[in-house]
Structure 1
Amino acid sequence: MIQKTAMEKPATTTTTTRKCSQEAWLAFFTCLALFSVLLCFDYSALVGVADKRVNLVLNKKTKNSTPEPDFCSGKYVYVHDLPRRFNYDLLENCRLLTRGTDNSMCPYLKNQGLGPEIDGFEGVLSNKSWFSTNQFMLEVIFHNKMKHYRCLTKDSSLASAVFVPFYAGLDVSLRLWDPNISVRDSSARDLVGWLSRQPEWRRMWGRDHFLIAGRISWDFRRQTDNSSDWGSKLRFLPESMNMSMLSVEGSSWRNDYAIPYPTYFHPAEDRMVYEWQDRMRSMSRPYLFTFAGAPRPEIANSMRGKVIDQCQTSRSCRFIDCGSVENSCSNPVSVMKVFQSSVYCLQPPGDSYTRRSTFDSILAGCIPVFFHPGTAYSQYLWHFPKNYTKYSVYIPVRDVKNLRDGDIEKVLLGISKEEEKVMREEVVRLIPKIIYADPRSRLESLEDAFDLAVKGVIERVEEVRRVIREGKDPSVGFAEEDDYKYTFADWYKRLKN
């Protein structure tokens, strides 16, 4: 019995030990599980508290800080995606485009419309920002610059203005001499038909739309359907009358605006402009005045003829005959060299009131001399100072017959050196405003002719919106004719006011 009991006791002990061991492990795992649950609970609680603290901080910052202003607010421009026939196809058929001569326009399409880069500066030009730019390339240059405009939008509802990239000047140059007026007007009619079907048109019936022309506005204002009359009828089509046109010379209608002719200078950086300005301030100018242009013998009592006569009889004047066989006016280096050597540059009207030469002379720091208010003062309102005496000389000539020999030189000699210095400084300051910077780059601190033109259009459209908000008819005065640009008496009256 004792033996049996002794032998059974260890077994009971072993069983008990094993049972305790199992219970201990069970308790351990139970505690571990409870600890994990508690840990997860505490962690989630901590994360929740942390998230609440972060949210409180963010909410506090949002409430205390004002949102950053939208730089482009009130500046957005929407660009219509026109069918290619209205722009790019014209460039592909550049051999058909001429300047009224047999010269091809194809070379001038290089460098996004700037033309071939000028080599051989001959100490006249400053750097590689100079190109053989054709004056009829404005619409191509403007379109390429618009592609890099800072405030473009694909949402037309945000747009302050709508740009129509129709190459109006290049298109009309194909057909200006076509006796069939239906053919001459075909692109214009197709364009306004396309625009009027777009949803953007119905917002203001086109009064927020604008287009560019590299020719004078008169080329698009044929008033009759006689085949012998000049130009197309684009600007007299009902839909077109609701749009604004920016061209190198505005007509007497209020929805036509003049912007500068392209010059040869297209800087890529601000410093290039500043360096050129400094150089023009310090130029030696041995000629008192100069004139670059061709005579107009077919025009009786031509103003140009009188100017050329007075220039050729003066020892203080340099005449560049653009009608000569050499045609030195086609060489930018030759033109700029003479303008840089002159104090004053004469700008009489020619085939039309305005001249590209005006902007070439300003670029050279040469003070322009005008004989008619329609050459500059009533034209480039967004780019030139209202006070014309700050940057130019005006010799009013109501009748060419009244311009006597020596009158021009006498007027210029009567200007003091101090007055001349002040005017030249203003001319040099105008340089950034009359150039079109390289479309492949962007000026940072300066506004060029493109920037000022877009700003002018947007202000014009905003004025129409104000009229609409006041419940008035926006068509009143929008496209009316105003002859003050070409009327001497009315010009003087408005200038005094």
Structure 2
Amino acid sequence: MPSPLTPILLLLLLTTTATAATSQDSDLESDCTNRWIHIRHLPPEFNLDLLTNCSEYPLFDNFCPYISNHGLGQKTHNSSHSWYRTDPFMLELIFHRRMFEYPCLTSDPDLADAVYIPYYAGIDSLKYLFGPEVNSSFRHGLDFFHYLAHLDTPSIWNKNLGHDHFLVMARPAWDFSQPLSNDPPIFGTSFLELPEFYNVTALTFEARAYPWQEQAIPYPTSFHPPNLAFFESWLNRVRKSRRSTLMLFAGGGGISANPNVRRSIRLECDNVTNMNTNGTGYSKFCEFLDCSNGVCEHDPIKFMKPMLQSSFCLQPPGDTPTSRSTFDGILAGCIPVFFEELSVKRQYGWHLPESEYDEFSVFIQKEDVVFKGVRILDVLMSIPRSEVRRKREKVLEMIGRVMYRKHGSSLGLRSKKDAFDIAIEVTLQRIKSRKQQLADQR
């Protein structure tokens, strides 16, 4: 079997050279004020070489099938143009490829407003989380820092001591937040606990509440349209979809006897299944799609159709507060129902502004559901139809902001900001503000 790296490596190298040259030789200077980004050169041991071990972590997954198409994964079927079997943990590859299309790249770090580090931190963490170095997780990032600050061009790092650097870490921040003092170590690495990286902006799936350097960005879904026509075709389908189910829970868990919100949801869904829906406008009140053990993760056909047919998608916290399901549901025009504020409201402010949450979602306190007998059905049925329509229209507006379009997409689609564009734009603003603070302190 040929190495999956061969076409990826060639295309990445070619694209890097071509894009950087095009960016600097064009007439973009006026449009690139405060937007220049330098991509740091890294040895392949910190990114592409990590993909050669894609089948060596059985406790995690064999992620070899998801490397293709620069991290988008294989198409759901041969004739598909926009749908892929995307694994969210491949976002580092997706982001890396998209960076080469960024219009304001510079090969001169002294001209850059920000520096992107194409380090596959999440993939590199697998050897500490599931592999042979599980008892050395405190070392995650030390060799990488040594390269940045000492072996490469130290002046790039030392200019701002990392304040102008950013990277993508395709796992929740909790997975990189093990205290250095833990002995023996528990699950996770200590990358974000290393003082060496305190100044770097880390884009993660889920951020902790207190460290300033972390910012949550959307999980990638399976939808990556290549042009405006396919994007608008999907929006039209979502808008016209008949919502015959009131609420949908697509997920796992909830089988424990201990009280928790997922258990309460499953019990309520079972209890209302046979209730009379006459006069409600729905053919059923609740549908439960069992996605335990990752059975839905790489098969969007399995969960997207039920989401398209549902008015509300229940998004309870699981092992961590956030999940990819939130963004799958938004993609389907299914109004999200949240049960704790850390699930989204305190996470994705760049892409889903906190001031707009009431406009596109519903919030029910999980303790009210678990311990106070509040029925989700009653809350949702009490929302006027006119308000449901307004919320759905707002969800439709959000779709473009939370999707990652396909690399090489058409000019028309590139005119609309997607999740990548927004992440880059606000990262630049954050770094500019931070550098100004440092200048003022000096």
**TM-score, normalised relative to structure 2:** 0.85
Inter-CA distance 317–427: structure 2 relative to 1 (3 Å threshold): same
Match of 1:337 in 2: 305
Match of 2:353 in 1: 385
> How much is the aligned-residue C-alpha RMSD, in angstroms?
2.1
Match of 1:145 in 2: 98
The one-letter code sitting in structure 2 at the alignment partner of 1:255 is Q
- Give distance in 2, aligned partners of 1:312 and 1:351: 23
2:175 matches 1:219: yes
- Give distance in 2, aligned partners of 1:225 and 1:372: 29
**For the Cα contact (< 8 Å) 1:96–1:174, is it kept in 2?**
no
Q: How does 1:75-94 map to 2 (within 5 A)?
A: 75-94=35-54
Inter-CA distance 293–206: structure 2 relative to 1 (3 Å threshold): same
2:198 matches 1:254: no
**For the Cα contact (< 8 Å) 2:163–2:200, is it kept in 1?**
yes
- Give distance in 2, aligned partners of 1:69 and 1:233: 40
Match of 1:21 in 2: none
2:253 matches 1:295: yes
Percent identity between the two aligned chains? 36
Inter-CA distance 239–377: structure 2 relative to 1 (3 Å threshold): same
Pairing partner for 2:428 from 455, 458, 462: 458
User: How far did 1:183 drift?
Assistant: 3.3
Does the residue aligned with 1:245 lie in a helix, a strand or coil? strand
2:381 matches 1:413: yes
- Give distance in 1, aligned partners of 2:372 and 2:225: 40
Match of 1:432 in 2: 400
The one-letter code sitting in structure 1 at the alignment partner of 2:260 is S
Pairing partner for 1:264 from 209, 222, 225: 222
Inter-CA distance 135–306: structure 2 relative to 1 (3 Å threshold): same
- 4+ residue segments displaced more than 6 Å: none
The one-letter code sitting in structure 1 at the alignment partner of 2:435 is R
The one-letter code sitting in structure 2 at the alignment partner of 1:165 is P
Does the residue aligned with 1:96 lie in a helix, a strand or coil? coil
2:114 matches 1:161: yes
2:419 matches 1:449: yes
**For the Cα contact (< 8 Å) 1:367–1:393, is it kept in 2?**
yes
Pairing partner for 1:188 from 141, 149, 153: 141
User: How far did 1:146 drift?
Assistant: 0.7
The one-letter code sitting in structure 2 at the alignment partner of 1:300 is N
Inter-CA distance 323–456: structure 2 relative to 1 (3 Å threshold): same
- Give distance in 1, aligned partners of 2:133 and 2:49: 22
1:449-485 Cα distance to aligned partner (Å, 9 max, x none): 000001111000111122123236xxxxxxxxxxxxx
Match of 1:285 in 2: 243
Q: How does 1:47-86 map to 2 (within 5 A)?
A: 70-86=30-46
The one-letter code sitting in structure 1 at the alignment partner of 2:85 is S
User: How far did 1:178 drift?
Assistant: 5.4
- Give distance in 2, aligned partners of 1:134 and 1:370: 23
- Give distance in 2, aligned partners of 1:320 and 1:209: 41
1:325-373 Cα distance to aligned partner (Å, 9 max, x none): x935542101000000000000000010001000000000000000011
2:424 matches 1:467: no
User: How far did 1:95 drift?
Assistant: 1.4
Inter-CA distance 232–415: structure 2 relative to 1 (3 Å threshold): same
2:212 matches 1:244: no
- Give distance in 2, aligned partners of 1:368 and 1:236: 33
- Give distance in 1, aligned partners of 2:126 and 2:266: 30
- Give distance in 1, aligned partners of 2:372 and 2:92: 38
Inter-CA distance 178–409: structure 2 relative to 1 (3 Å threshold): same
The one-letter code sitting in structure 2 at the alignment partner of 1:308 is R
User: How far did 1:185 drift?
Assistant: 3.8
The one-letter code sitting in structure 1 at the alignment partner of 2:88 is Q
Greater CA deviation, 190-199 or 326-335? 326-335
User: How far did 1:202 drift?
Assistant: 1.1
Q: How many residues align?
A: 397
2:289 matches 1:320: yes
User: How far did 1:263 drift?
Assistant: 0.2
Does the residue aligned with 1:320 lie in a helix, a strand or coil? strand
User: How far did 1:273 drift?
Assistant: 1.6
Does the residue aligned with 1:470 lie in a helix, a strand or coil? helix
2:161 matches 1:231: no
2:127 matches 1:174: yes
- Give distance in 2, aligned partners of 1:444 and 1:83: 30
**TM-score, normalised relative to structure 1:** 0.76
User: How far did 1:323 drift?
Assistant: 2.2
User: How far did 1:179 drift?
Assistant: 8.1
Gaps of 5+ in 1: 1-66, 122-126, 473-497
Does the residue aligned with 1:230 lie in a helix, a strand or coil? coil
**For the Cα contact (< 8 Å) 1:397–1:403, is it kept in 2?**
no
Inter-CA distance 386–254: structure 2 relative to 1 (3 Å threshold): same
Does the residue aligned with 1:305 lie in a helix, a strand or coil? helix
Match of 2:318 in 1: 350
Match of 2:81 in 1: 128
Does the residue aligned with 2:326 lie in a helix, a strand or coil? helix
1:283-329 Cα distance to aligned partner (Å, 9 max, x none): 101000000111144583222111111122223001001127x9355
**For the Cα contact (< 8 Å) 1:178–1:184, is it kept in 2?**
no
Give 1 or 2 for the bigger CA radius of gyration.
Answer: 1
User: How far did 1:423 drift?
Assistant: 0.5
- Give distance in 1, aligned partners of 2:318 and 2:106: 41
- Give distance in 2, aligned partners of 1:256 and 1:277: 32
User: How far did 1:400 drift?
Assistant: 5.4
**For the Cα contact (< 8 Å) 1:132–1:264, is it kept in 2?**
yes
- Give distance in 2, aligned partners of 1:401 and 1:296: 12
